[in-house]
Structure formats: C-alpha cells, structure tokens
Amino acid sequence: MKKKVELVIRGGLVVTMDEQGTVFNPGSVAVSRGKIVCVGDEDEVLSQVDGTREISARGCAVMPGLVNVHTHAAMTCFRGLADDLPLMMWLTEHIFPAEKKINGDIVYKGTLLACAEMILGETTTFADMYLFADQVAKAAKEAKMRALIGEVIYDFPSPNYGSPEKGIQFTKALIDEWKGDDLISVAVEPHAVYTCSPQLLKECERIVEQFQVPLVIHLSENEEEIKQVNKKYGKTPVQHLDGLGLLGSKLLGVHCVVLTEKDMECLEKNDVKVAHNPESNMKLASGVSPVPDLLKRGITVGLGTDGCASNNDLDMWGEMDTCAKLHKVFLLDPTVMPAQKVVRMATIEGAKAIGMADRIGSLHEGKRADIIIVDLKKPHLTPMYQVYSHLVYSASAHDVKTSIINGEVVMSDRKLLTLDKEKVMESVKEIARNVIRPE
Ligand SMILES: [Zn+2]
C-alpha cells in the first residue's frame, strides 16, 4: 500500500547537497505537511508514495533552496541611490541621511520587494539585519519565506526603539513573539564592534545564552574598522570579542575580510561561523576575505549578498559565480573554490552558519521542504557534463522555475504566488519618489 503524500516532484536531476554529494538521476522528492518524506531514485520513490499533486522536473535540477546568510532586505529602497564612492562618503553623505527617513512601513514594503526578488531568484531563506525587524518578519511571513531576523542594536538611539537598553528589550520581545514559528527565527544582532560598547556586547551575549539563539555581528569588514578598533581597544575586532567572551558556535561573523593568523585561529577554536559577501566587499573595495584558508581550517562559511545598496541585488546565482572567480584571481590559483564547494556555501553550509542545518540546506528525509527547480533546457546550459559547474558558472536567476518553501509552492513557472509583484514594485517606487529621493 503506497503512502499518500501531498506533493511529488518527479523525474529531475536531484542534487541533494548531503555530505556525500548524492545525486539521483532521474530522482524524485516526496513532500508532506511541509517536510521531505522521501528522496531517491524516481522508481523507488514512486513505488513508495502516491502524490495528490505531481510536478514534473524532467530536464531540470531539483535542489535545496538557496540560503542567503546576510541581507539588509529593506535596503532595496536604496538600490542604485549612490554608487562608486569611497565607503565613508557613501555612508555618511548618502546612506545614513536616507536611513534617517525610514520607518516601519518603509521597511515592510522594502522587505516585500526583497522577498519578491529573492523568491524569483530561488532563495528560500535569508538572514537579515535591520531596523524595524518586526516589519521584516511581517513581510517575510506574508511572502511565505523562511527568515532569520534581528533588530540592529548599537550605542546610539535608534529611530525604532530609542535607547540601546530598549533595543535589548525589543529583541527579547521579538524572540518571545516568534518562538516556535515555522518560518521566522530571531537572532541577537549588535551592529559591529566599533558601534557597540563592550557592555552592550556582553548584554547581547547574555540574551544569546538565555534563549539559545544566534548572534550576528559585522566583523572585520575593512582596514578602517581594524584601525578604529585598535585605537580604542588595542586589539583586532576578533580578539576584542574573544576578550569579552563573545566568540562561540552561535556567533555569525559577517564579512571577516581583514583577519590575522591569530584571528583565524580564534575563529576556528571557537567554532565561529562566517558570512561571506564577495560582491559587497568588491563594490565597497573592502578587500578579499581569506575564505579558502577559513574553509581549510574547517570553519563554516555561508554565502550572502549583503544589502542592496552595496551589491546592488539579492541574486545568489551571481554571488556564487563571483565567489568562485574572485578567490581564483586573487590567489592566482584556478583550483581554489571549486564549483561544488561554492554550491555548498549557498545551501547546506549557509544553513549551518545560521543554525538551521537540522531543518534546511539539503534534501534529506525529515527536513523542511525548501526545494527549488532549475530549468536546464536552455542553450546556455547545453550540454551538461557536471551539474555543479552549470549551477555556478552558467545558470542565472532567470533559469529558476519553481520554488517551494516549507512544502508550499511559492513560485510556479516563474509566477510569484505569494505576493502581487506589480503592487510591491509600485509601493517602493513611490517611496523612492516621495521619501528617499535626494534633496
Ligand atoms: Zn551588512
């Protein structure tokens, strides 16, 4: 007697992204109640289950949804506002003044636009840091995307919550509000070492301990940060955090571009996770994170796009391509960052980096059904000798066909099902026209 399931994806090239790199061709995936119930060769899966709904994936790759480990989703509102400027001028003269104008409604609408872009690009999970994080959660939930959200906390008053102490309270309330939610998880998110006092950072760590949630911080992004932190504390940002007792397996260090040998040892010893954002680091001329070295040490590194003002998109396919090539040219070594490793960074390693590997990141029985289908029947994807090569070097967001999050189809044949794309775009155009526009 076959088991009745809600959905069967059949006949595709199933790239599981498990530890052994298992691929089934033709393979099938069965989904029920938001979870993967069976993955394997098509014949075998079909002998066990009977799907109420079937999706044919002939000529397509079926893989886990992409995990974007670092975004400021609502910064879609600032896309293309100011480019090609030195970091400090870009920040102080353009981004900060624009951010002063934002409110909860703008963050909500900007995040909806980000979700529309991400789902159409087959990202199924994003880890966000921004103001008005309650609105980020609301938008992600409406788009039916999986998200790790967190309110950015720093020493100065925030337009959302006011004083830093209130930021801590706001974070606690968010953790409480979203506890046990299927899609939304909450992290504690101090902005950076140079914008948060040691006391504030320690307070953040206390909440992490109390609630066992991830801790996310921008870390060692560029030389300027190293200089500032060294002047203030006589240490590198990583060693400053070590001294405060903040390095641990729950910590996600975003960027980690400028690292000393000792910094890398500290990250390794404490099982700190790293979010790598190659395009943002390139655009802001921050430098090149020593990712091949970090990976050699066994450090978990996930891939992210960073915010739209410094990238300027949320496209994980472009990010994978850039990641693979940047390290090759930087080290003058074409063997570093092979394609399969990069796809891992965008899926299972990303899931590990944000503490979700038990739920997502690979196609495995019992995990949540976050699954994407990539159409390989395209001139630029023909012929195919090796699927990882195509995923990194040839495919783009436009090749993605269907996206499933938590067992629910959120995009089908490139049609976004959870949001009204036109309406979402119109609302952000209006914000750009009436609120953000330079004086
Ligand atoms: Zn960032």
Q: Which two tokens stand for residue 210?
A: 């109390």
Between the CA of 256 and the centroid of ligand 1 the distance, in Å, is 11
pLDDT at position 438 is: 61
Once rounded to an integer, what is the mean pLDDT over residues 403-425? 98
Answer whether residue 302 shows pLDDT above 80: yes
Q: If you measure from the C-alpha of residue 311 to the centroid of ligand 1, how many angstroms do you get, rounded to a whole number?
A: 11
DSSP 36-84: EEEEEEHHHHHHHEEEEEEEE-TTEEEEEPEEEEEE-GGGGGGTTSS-S
User: Minimal CA–CA distance to 319: which of 270, 416, 248, 392?
Assistant: 392
**Cis bond before residue 26 (omega within 30° of 0):** yes
Q: Return the residue matching tokens 């990583």.
A: 238
Q: How many Cβ atoms from other residues are within 10 Å of residue 34's Cβ?
A: 16
Distance 128 CA to ligand 1 centre (A): 9
Is residue 273 pLDDT above 60, yes or no?
Answer: yes
**Which of helix, strand or coil describes residue 189?**
strand
pLDDT of residue 110: 98
Q: Classify residue 337 by its DSSP letter.
A: S
Q: 3-state DSSP call for residue 360? A: coil
* pLDDT for residue 92: 82
Cα of 221 to ligand 1 centre, how many Å? 9
235-264 mean pLDDT? 98
The 10s digit of each residue's pLDDT in 314-327 is: 999 999 999 999 99
Residue 419, pLDDT > 70, answer yes
Cα 219 to middle of ligand 1, angstroms: 10
Q: What is the pLDDT of residue 278?
A: 98
AA letter at 12: G
Beta pairing, strands 400-405 & 371-375: antiparallel
Residue 206: its pLDDT value, please?
97
Q: How far apart are CA 10 and CA 191, in angstroms?
A: 44
CA–CA dist 404, 410 (Å, integer): 6
pTM beyond cutoff 0.85: yes
Helices 339-346/316-331 angle, 10° precision: 140
Residue 439 above 70 pLDDT? no
Q: What is the pLDDT of residues 134-145, one digit of tens each?
A: 999 999 999 999
Q: What is the pLDDT of residue 299?
A: 98
67 CA to centre of ligand 1 in angstroms: 15
**d(CA 9, ligand 1 centre) in Å:** 36
Q: For residue 57, report the phi and psi dihedrals to the nearest 5 degrees.
A: -120, 30
Q: Which two tokens stand for residue 224?
A: 């300027």
User: Which backbone phi and psi does 384 adopt, to 5 degrees?
Assistant: -130, 120
How many angstroms separate the alpha carbon of residue 154 from the centre of ligand 1?
14
Spacing, Cα 90 to ligand 1 middle (Å): 14
Cα-to-centroid distance, 413 and ligand 1 (Å) = 32
3-class DSSP string for 111-174: HHHHHHHHHHCCEEEEEECECCHHHHHHHHHHHCCEEEECEEECCCCECCCECHHHHHHHHHHH
Average pLDDT, rounded, for the chain: 96
Q: What angle do CA 77, 352, 414 make, to 5 degrees?
A: 45
Q: How many CA atoms lie within 13 A of 433 on its CB side?
A: 6
Question: How many A from CA of 274 to the centre of ligand 1?
Answer: 12
Tens digits of per-residue pLDDT, 370-396? 999 999 999 999 999 999 999 999 999
pLDDT: is 272 or 100 the higher one? Answer: 272
Report the C-alpha gap between 399 and 395 in whole angstroms. Answer: 6
**Residues within 5 A (CB) of ion ligand 1:** 306
Q: Would you place residue 101 in the very low, low, confident or very high pLDDT band (cuts 50, 70, 90)?
A: confident
- pLDDT value at residue 177: 98
Q: What is the pLDDT of residues 54-68, one digit of tens each?
A: 999 999 999 999 999
Query: How far apart (Å, rounded) are the C-alpha atoms in residues 280 and 282?
Result: 5
* pLDDT value, residue 222: 94
The CA radius of gyration of the chain, in Å to the nearest whole number, is 21
Query: What 3-state DSSP class applies to 336?
Result: coil
Give the HSE-up count for residue 246: Cα atoms under 13 Å, Cβ half-sphere: 31
Q: Could you give the CA distance from residue 326 to residue 226 in angstroms, rounded to a whole number?
A: 23
Distance 218 CA to ligand 1 centre (A): 6
